Structures are given as structure tokens and as C-alpha cells.
Structure 1
Amino acid sequence: MDGKSEIDELSYLSTQCHPEDVLLSSKLFFPDFVVVGEAVFLEAKYEDKVFDCWLKQFEGDLQATEKMINHTHLYDVFDGYSEDVDDKVFEQVAEVVALSWRLVLANNYPKKKFNVEVSSSDQDYGPVVSFYQVF
């Protein structure tokens, strides 16, 4: 063996993945955001009513509100596969998502500082990625 992985990722993509699948999945790694006042949210998860509810629940704490609204359970993203895939794969995907969110947030909002977290505790439903600002 020449030291290369037995899996050739580009060959796999070429034979197993449709370009539209790749394009759609890129939204997980490079999401759109919405800014509400000083807060930043994943556009796909933001709703005015939900924001108002959580902001009230957290007594005006924007950081806690961002963290709650922006949390993403990877089991939900890949709902049809959560039983068939090893948790280590989900954990690796979570780390890649977190890395890409850090890069995108830093690029889009260079004057803001964000904390992007990955958690996978017994209280969580699989690996979770979330972000919030550090004020």
C-alpha cells in the first residue's frame, strides 16, 4: 500500500453524488444569516415570534437567545440516516460544520466575535453545533 487512503473522495463524489446534492448540502457549511439588531442568526432557523419568545424567556439576554436559536442537531439534519451512521461520523461532521461556521462568520462579520460550539453530551440528541456572539 502506498499510504493513501483506500477511499478516493473525488471518485466517490463522481460516482455517488449528484451536483445538486452537493450544492444543497453546502448550505449546511455556508449558511445564510440574518441580523436582528445586534444579534446574528441562521436565516433558516430565524422567525420573529420565536426570537421574541426566547428573548423574553432569557430576560433580554441576546447571547443566550442566539445560542438557542442557532443550535443545530445533526441527527435532525440527517434524519433519514441517524440510525444507520456511527456517532463518530456525526461528531466529525459537527467539527467540520463548526469550523466552516467560524470561517463564514469571521468573513461576514469581521467586527464581531463569535463562539462556535460543538456538544455531544448525554442531554443532547446527538452532536449539536451552535454559535453566539461574545459581547
Structure 2
Amino acid sequence: MSKKKKYNDTEEWFSLIPELKEWNNGKGIDHEYWIEIEGRIEYALAYTSIFWPKFILFRNCIFIDYMNDEIFERWHKNCNGSLEALEATVNHRHLEDWFGGESTKRQMEYMGRTLKDIWETKLNKQFPGRQVIVELFEVNEEYKITVYQKNH
């Protein structure tokens, strides 16, 4: 751990991770120091599946990680033949499933915006030229994110 303090927007990090303020007898700790002390490679590795998911192309549709003919046909029928609706439905994820529990609205908004930016970057890199939409939305105080192609 380097001796120089690395305070990067500390007040914002303190509001997102209140535990940071409790360190050093209430003086607080920088979020990067906290990661150096508390972080685990196993968690970081597992989070890569959320932050940089495997997107696949199946029947000209983009899906997160997996799709097969049986699932595709069932959802295609349920979505009245709309490929955009099929992608959006199959690809939607609830942020609370990953980060729920004691999460605050501010934490979920920050995580959702960050995840949306990362997914957009990944999809633009992996599928250049396709008009892929990453949508973050809130329904009944629950945050969801989805991916679909515009103008199928």
C-alpha cells in the first residue's frame, strides 16, 4: 500500500460506501485503500461476469451468455414475433438480485449508470455497426437493465 493518500472524490465515495468513514478512528479511508485491505480476487473475478458479460449472437439477436432453439422459439411466440421485445425480455436483469440487501437508492443508481456505460462499451466493441440499446430503468423502486437491438 503506497503512503500517499489517493482521495478520489472522497465525499462521493463516503456517501456510496459509508463504511469508509469508520476507518482510521473516524478519519476515513480512500476507497482504493479499502479495496487493497478488504478486497478479494475471487469476488473481483465473479463480478467480471456482471461488468463484462459474455454476449452472444444467436439468430441475429444478441443475448447475454446463452440461448438455444427451444428457449428462443418459446420467447419469440410470447413476444408476438418481435425480436426487439424478445431480446429485451430475455436479457433483462434485476440489479437487486446482484446488489440488493441493504443497498440504498443512491448506490443502486450509481451502480446502474456505471453498468450501463460498461455494457454499452462492450457491446459497441463486440458488435460494431449494430444499433444496440442498453436501457436502465426503475420500476417500483427496483432497478433493471436490459439489452436489445433497435430496428430489428
If the length of structure 1 is used for normalisation, what is the TM-score? 0.85
Size of the aligned set, in residue pairs, is: 128
Task: Give the corresponding residue for 2:44.
Answer: 22
**2:116 matched residue in structure 1:** 98
1:131 has 2:152 as partner? no
CA RMSD of aligned residues (A): 2.0
Alignment partner, residue 53 of structure 1 = 74
Unpaired runs of 5+ residues, structure 2, are: 1-6, 11-27
Bigger relative contact order (CA 8 A; separation at least 6): 1
Instruction: Give distance in 1, aligned partners of 2:34 and 2:62.
Output: 36
Contact 1:74-1:128 within 8 A present in 2 as well: yes
Identity of aligned residues (%): 23
Task: Mark the CA change 1:69 to 1:7 in structure 2 (over 3 Å): closer, same or farther.
Answer: farther
TM-score, structure 2 length as denominator? 0.76
Q: Residue 11 of structure 1 corresponds to which residue in structure 2?
A: 33
Structure 1 gap segments, 5+ residues each: none
Code of the residue aligned with 2:77 in structure 1: it is K
Shift of 1:53: 1.4
Deviations 1:25-71 (A, max 9, x none): 12211000121111000015x45433221110112111000000110
Alignment partners' CA distance in 1, 2:40 and 2:8? 29
